[in-house]
């Protein structure tokens, strides 16, 4: 009976996972970027987080020695979405309405949300950036594809201003229904990108995530970077072992 219940529970969790990857991560076990629950301890905090320690295809990584892959084939069909900003205690996340898609090498994924890390989680040739944007997508099979955009210091970005203006308190969501945003405004002009197979960079560190990281960064202002750091000084997992994984460069 207990086993049966557990199975049903496991299936329920699994289904949740397919609908919303964040649902798994939010199952009550605390994890942080510092202190006793820092990234080196994540795998020990819960059985559900075992991959954080045991996984061999973890993210982020230092991107170097990329080999030439197929020509760049990434296509964005992003639509405007009402602004919904979530402060989940780990990052600032913008939830996206259904109907925005990216097609990567012929595979179509839907945009679920985007969020930010400081400093960047990925390194490119040993170099970190002040921040990194992750656009999280999922296909009909539940597979995840993340598009990563390095953020450097430069001129003010109007969309970032709009998002920062509506950051709620931790654990809260601010819905700005009368304000439409378009995540396409956060993409660089040049579409060359690196790709590799990795994982979620937060617990449960699940693998099978398709990573696609633009070579060209976008810019936001110094003040905008500092405003984020006021809320999250560090929310980046350190780089993980590459373990012979191949990084391809598509240009
Ligand atoms: Zn992320």
DSSP of 86-155: EE-SS-EEEE--S--EEEETTEEEEEEEEEEESS-SSEETTB--SEEEEEEEE-TTS-EEEEEEEEEEES
Residue 8, pLDDT > 60, answer: no
Q: Residue 107: give the domain boundaries.
A: 2-250
Centre of ligand 1 to C-alpha 59, Å, is: 10
Q: What's 81's domain CATH number?
A: 3.10.200.10
User: Ligand 1: distance of its center to the CA of 4 in Å?
Assistant: 35
Of the candidates 208, 211, 205, the one whose C-alpha atom is nearest the C-alpha of residue 193 is 211
Number of domains comprising the chain: 1
Residue 114 CA, ligand 1 centroid: distance in Å: 8
90 is catalytic: yes
- Find tokens 């199952």 and name the residue: 27
The confidence score (pLDDT) of residue 9 equals 41
Average pLDDT of the residues in 192-218: 98
Residue matched to tokens 């090498």: 105
DSSP string covering 10-46? HHHHHHHHHH-HHHHHTSS----SSGGGSGGGHHHH-
Give residue 120 CA to ligand 1 midpoint distance, Å.
Answer: 9
If you compute the radius of gyration of the chain from its CA atoms, what whole number of angstroms results? 18
What does the mean pLDDT of the chain come to?
A: 91
Q: What single DSSP character describes residue 51?
A: H
| 128: nearest Cα among 136, 118, 116, 138 | 118
> Could you say which of 90, 117, 137, 250 is catalytic?
90
Distance 244 CA to ligand 1 centre (A): 23
Prediction pTM value: 0.89
- In sequence order, what are the beta bridge partners of 204? none
pLDDT band at 24 (very low <50, low <70, confident <90, very high): very low
> What confidence score (pLDDT) does residue 213 get?
98
Q: How far is the CA of 116 from the centre of ligand 1 (A)?
A: 6
How far, in Å, from the CA of 2 to the mean position of ligand 1?
Answer: 36
Mean pLDDT of 144-164: 98
Residue 212, both tokens? 């696609």
Q: Average pLDDT of 14-39?
A: 68
pLDDT for residue 28: 81
What is the pLDDT averaged over residues 108-122?
98
Element (H, E) at 212: strand 207-214
Task: Give the per-residue pLDDT at 23.
Answer: 44
Centre of ligand 1 from the C-alpha of residue 5, in Å: 33
pLDDT at residue 127, rounded to an integer: 97
Residues 6+ apart with CB under 8 A from 116: 91, 92, 131, 132, 133, 134, 151, 228, 235
**Average pLDDT over every residue of 183-190:** 98
Asked whether the predicted pLDDT for residue 99 surpasses 50, the reply is yes
pLDDT tens digits along 209-221: 999 999 999 999 9
């Amino acid at each position: 009976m207990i086993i049966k219940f557990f199975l049903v529970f496991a299936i329920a969790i699994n289904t949740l996972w397919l609908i919303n990857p964040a649902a798994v991560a939010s199952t009550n076990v605390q994890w942080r970027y510092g202190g006793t629950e820092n990234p080196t301890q994540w795998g020990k905090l819960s059985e559900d987080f075992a991959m954080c320690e045991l996984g061999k295809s973890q993210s982020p990584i230092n991107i170097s020695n990329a080999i030439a892959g197929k020509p760049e084939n990434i296509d964005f069909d992003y639509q405007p979405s009402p602004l919904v900003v979530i402060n989940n205690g780990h990052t600032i996340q913008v939830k996206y309405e259904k109907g925005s898609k990216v097609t990567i090498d012929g595979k179509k994924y839907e945009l679920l949300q985007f969020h930010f890390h400081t400093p960047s989680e990925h390194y490119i040739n040993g170099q970190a950036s002040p921040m990194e944007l992750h656009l999280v997508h999922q296909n009909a099979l539940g597979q995840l594809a993340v598009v990563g955009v390095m953020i450097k210091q430069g001129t003010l970005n109007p969309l970032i201003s709009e998002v920062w203006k509506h950051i709620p308190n931790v654990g809260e969501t601010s819905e700005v229904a009368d304000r439409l945003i378009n995540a396409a405004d956060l993409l660089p002009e040049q579409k060359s990108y690196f790709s590799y197979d990795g994982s979620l960079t937060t617990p449960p560190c699940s693998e099978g995530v398709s990573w696609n990281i633009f070579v060209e960064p976008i810019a936001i202002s110094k003040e905008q970077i500092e405003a984020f750091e006021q809320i999250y000084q560090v929310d980046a997992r350190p780089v993980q072992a590459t373990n012979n994984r191949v990084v391809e460069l598509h240009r």
